[in-house]
């Protein structure tokens, strides 16, 4: 039995076993370490501004505020979002229109680092404005545009701009970068991920635990993947398969466009991402999409131009709202297959995270937000300093970075289990 980087146990496969039957499963990141910044916060003084104080932005602000040496500014357009942060020590709240370039420049001025937690449709413009201001950035807006379009600008201004830094994309990218470096050869990389209500309720059996408009984008944006070494595109919600996962039961998984930068930065002949929901959800969303309810072109309704997506959003968003007494969970499985130490090898990461009842923080906010703050902490420690657009897979290739993030997450109760099988 071999240890890999002190983070995962590599068990022997049982005689004749073809599936994953590890003799030992260990929570990733549970080991102690003397490395700086791992588990706790960097001791470096930091002034951080968080743009967007929704569920995930709120969790980010609260996590950053627990560090005595840091000052945090939370910015949002609504009194309601900012009101939830009132009274927090080391936190200043500012109301501002985050759709305004001038307002963004005003609120980021004087800070060491900016976290972008705005909705996807304004994420790219926000990132560009922050970079032009010369402020390092970690972004979780998951905007549709190619982030590398901002690479030259970031280099020109000496800005480290980490993009797609949530759970998936985000942690999954860190894992991909780490695995590509650790394996002799990476042949297959697949990520399954889903944010779900703990209790299923008809008709959608779903609650939007992040920006609902970004959820709809998962159902409409064509899904890019790598098959036989070539990039191919398939319809979102396609290739539905069923997975049985411990602690959750049976879920369905369908194609979604979550690989993003991995399509061009990781060399593996097979890569795909699939979103998970309770069985039947994909069919309902496909019905709405094919009927035109997600259409963006206006149609005439008794003399009025109406965009179907606007009407759909107005109806769906209240139905998808996570109630005050409702709880959620995040489930994720990342599988990598290839060659390690000259032998065929399969490594699987499993995550099942649940709503934080003590802090009243959703699981999606925890897993997304704490991955973001873990990376912020590592940047504060100087673990990565190269200016430019930085997808998380770049960070995963840096020695110690992946372990640092996982120890940080484990310290906050977000723990991955690692299964390794030699000669699967």
Q: Where are the domains of the chain?
A: 46-167+363-414, 171-354
Can you read off the two tokens belonging to residue 75?
A: 């910015």
Can you read off the two tokens belonging to residue 150?
A: 């901002």
Q: Of 33-42, 50-59, 225-234, which gets the smallest average pLDDT?
A: 33-42
Long-range contacts of 125-128 (CB under 8 A, 24+ apart): 125/101, 126/51, 126/98, 127/161, 127/163, 128/153
Q: Name the band, by pLDDT with cuts 50, 70 and 90, for residue 11.
A: very low
CATH topology of domain 171-354: Dihydrodipicolinate Reductase; domain 2 (3.30.360)
Q: Name the band, by pLDDT with cuts 50, 70 and 90, for residue 323.
A: confident
Cα–Cα dist 170/371, whole Å: 7
Among the listed residues 210, 180, 195, the one whose alpha carbon sits nearest the alpha carbon of residue 332:
195
Strand partners, 167: 170
Provide the CATH number for the domain formed by 46-167+363-414 in this structure. 3.40.50.720
pLDDT greater than 60 at residue 21: no
Backbone angles phi, psi at 348, to 5 degrees: -130, 135
Residue range 263-280: average pLDDT? 97
Cα–Cα dist 259/241, whole Å: 18
Residue-level pLDDT at 30: 42
* b/e code 191-205 from CB counts within 10 Å (16+ = b): bbbbbbbeeeeeebb
pLDDT greater than 90 at residue 353: yes
* Residue 25 near residue 418, CB atoms below 8 Å: yes
Q: Is 290 exposed, middle or buried (0-12, 13-18, 19+ CB in 10 A)?
A: exposed
């Amino acid at each position: 039995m071999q240890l890999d980087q002190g983070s995962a146990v590599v068990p022997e496969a049982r005689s004749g076993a073809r599936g994953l039957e590890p003799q030992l499963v260990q929570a990733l990141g549970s080991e102690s370490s003397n490395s700086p910044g791992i588990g706790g916060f960097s001791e470096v003084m930091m002034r951080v501004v968080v743009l967007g104080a929704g569920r995930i932005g709120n969790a980010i602000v609260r996590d950053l505020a627990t560090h005595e040496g840091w000052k945090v500014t939370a910015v949002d357009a609504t009194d309601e979002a900012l009101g939830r942060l009132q009274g927090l020590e080391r936190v200043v709240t500012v109301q501002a229109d985050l759709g305004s370039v001038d307002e963004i420049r005003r609120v980021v001025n004087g800070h060491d680092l900016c976290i972008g937690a705005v909705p996807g449709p304004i994420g790219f413009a926000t990132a560009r404005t922050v970079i032009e201001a010369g402020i390092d950035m970690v972004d979780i807006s998951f905007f549709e545009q190619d982030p590398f379009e901002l690479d030259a600008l970031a280099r020109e201004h000496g800005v480290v701009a980490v993009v797609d830094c949530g759970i998936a994309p985000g942690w999954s990218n860190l894992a991909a970068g780490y695995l590509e470096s650790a394996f002799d050869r990476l042949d297959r990389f697949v990520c399954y991920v889903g944010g779900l209500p703990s209790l299923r309720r008809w008709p959608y059996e779903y609650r939007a635990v992040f920006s609902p408009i970004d959820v709809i984008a998962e159902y409409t944006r064509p899904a890019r993947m790598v098959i036989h070494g070539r990039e191919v595109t398939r319809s979102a919600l396609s290739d539905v398969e069923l997975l049985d996962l411990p602690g959750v039961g049976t879920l369905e998984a369908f194609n979604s466009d979550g690989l993003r930068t991995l399509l061009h930065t990781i060399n593996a002949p097979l890569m795909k991402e699939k979103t998970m929901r309770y069985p039947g959800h994909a069919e309902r969303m496909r019905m709405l999409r094919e009927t035109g309810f997600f259409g963006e072109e206006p149609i005439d309704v008794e003399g009025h131009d109406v965009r179907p997506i606007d009407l759909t959003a107005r109806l769906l968003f209240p139905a998808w709202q996570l109630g005050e007494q409702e709880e959620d969970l995040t489930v994720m499985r990342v599988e990598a297959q290839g060659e390690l130490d000259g032998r065929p090898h399969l490594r699987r990461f499993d995550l099942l995270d649940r709503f934080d009842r003590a802090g009243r923080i959703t699981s999606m906010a925890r897993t997304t937000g704490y991955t973001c703050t873990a990376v912020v902490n590592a940047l504060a420690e100087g673990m990565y300093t190269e200016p430019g657009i930085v997808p998380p897979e770049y960070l995963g290739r840096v020695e110690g970075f992946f372990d640092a993030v996982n120890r940080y997450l484990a310290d906050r109760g977000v723990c991955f289990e690692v299964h390794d099988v030699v000669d699967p």
